[in-house]
Copies of this chain bind each other. A is one copy, B any other.
Amino acid sequence: MIIVMKPNAKRESIEHILKLIKDNGLDTHISQGKEVTIIGVVGDKSKLMTQNLEIAEDVDKIVPVTESYKLANRKFHPEPSVVKVGNTSIGGNEFVIMSGPCAIESREQLLETAFAIKKAGATILRGGAYKPRTSPYSFQGLEEEGLKYMKEAREATGLAVVCEVTSLAAIETAVKYVDMLQIGARNMQNFYLLKEAGKTGLPVLLKRGLAATIDDWLNASEYIISEGNPNVVLCERGIRTFETATRNTLDISAVPVIKEKSHLPIIVDPSHATGVRSYVAPLSKCAVAAGADGLMIETHPNPAIALSDGPQSLTFSQFEQLCTELHPFVELMGKKF
């Protein structure tokens, strides 16, 4: 941590800071510049957590030097993590495709989808049973009934299954049926939910919040990991910007940035990022080329009548064609699916 003093800071202001830091058991280094004095703090800065130095006399600003997330930080865990989900692994040289409907609507819809995506090459079935919808008048999900269909689809196809959870009650129910829990974008900073998901020990798919910086996102993952659960997979799904041609703005740079800052696997969801079906294929290829560990793509037997996010869902034949087109890109990246 570095403390930058204001130009012409009074001698006693500087000494006050130095004393305060020492009283908390830390060391300091002073850099007396031409214009300003800088104080470097040496030691465990958490000892200073109860001192709000920003508002001490003559302090200009506090500059953090190290990231607040530790367990998710590549600096301290240089090897990339591989997260096992059912029979598949995310983060190694397997390229993982998750697919399925935004909302589970019926047993038939889900089973039909499960067989179709498996045939095309997907290894994880996604499907929403608890739907966080912007308006209370939109379809809110089948809840436990939907989870039962998920389990049935898993048994019928061998696919692993992942489902979003939005409350402790949903977590308690979901653990009985699914291989992986998803925390959605709107709950990325629902820290209570993160901790509860962490406690289950199940792998967690953590979607990026609409207004979350990459640092916020890694701090959110830290909530899960610090419960003793290192099985976190990140999912980039677009951030909110001024551009309205797509529903969100896919921040594809997040893939190499996460690879540099963290050891956690990262997948990309081009369906939610754009909200537009015709952009899903180009952005899927793009995610592969950027180095993602997998994709989450929405599919539906008949998108024209899907109860949620139909406009961005692929038909089975579109999905099959996309998987075919993705194969050589995945191979170029030294992975397979």
Give the interface of A toward B (CB within 8 A): 2, 4, 6-7, 29-36, 38, 40-44, 46, 49-52, 54-56, 63, 65-66, 68-69, 75-76, 130, 132-139, 166-170, 186-187, 189-193, 195, 209-211, 213-216, 219, 222-223, 226, 239-246, 249-257, 260-261, 273-274, 277-279, 282-283, 285-291, 303-307, 310-311, 328-329, 332
Q: Tell me whether A257 and B246 are in contact in the complex, defined as CB-CB below 8 angstroms, given that A42-B34, A49-B138 are known contacts.
A: yes
Copies in the assembly, this chain: 4
Q: Is the CB of B282 within 8 A of A289?
A: yes
B contact residues around A305 at 8 Å (CB) = 50-52
Shortest distance between the CB of A291 and any CB in chain B (Å)? 5
Q: Is the CB of A135 within 8 A of B219?
A: yes
- The dominant DSSP class at the A interface is mixed
Docked Cα-Cα span, A193 to B211, in Å, equals 20
Docked Cα-Cα span, A170 to B191, in Å, equals 13
Docked Cα-Cα span, A191 to B261, in Å, equals 32
- Residue of B169, B242, B250 near A252 (CB, 8 A) is B250
What would 16 A/B residue contacts be, using CB atoms closer than 8 Å?
A: A2-B38, A4-B65, A33-B42, A49-B139, A50-B306, A132-B191, A134-B216, A136-B191, A186-B190, A210-B211, A211-B240, A256-B283, A286-B289, A286-B290, A329-B329, A332-B332
Instruction: A2-B38, A46-B137, A256-B282 given; name 20 further pairs at CB < 8 Å.
Output: A4-B65, A32-B42, A34-B42, A34-B43, A38-B40, A38-B65, A51-B305, A52-B305, A130-B192, A132-B191, A132-B192, A167-B192, A241-B242, A241-B249, A244-B244, A246-B253, A252-B252, A253-B283, A260-B278, A289-B289
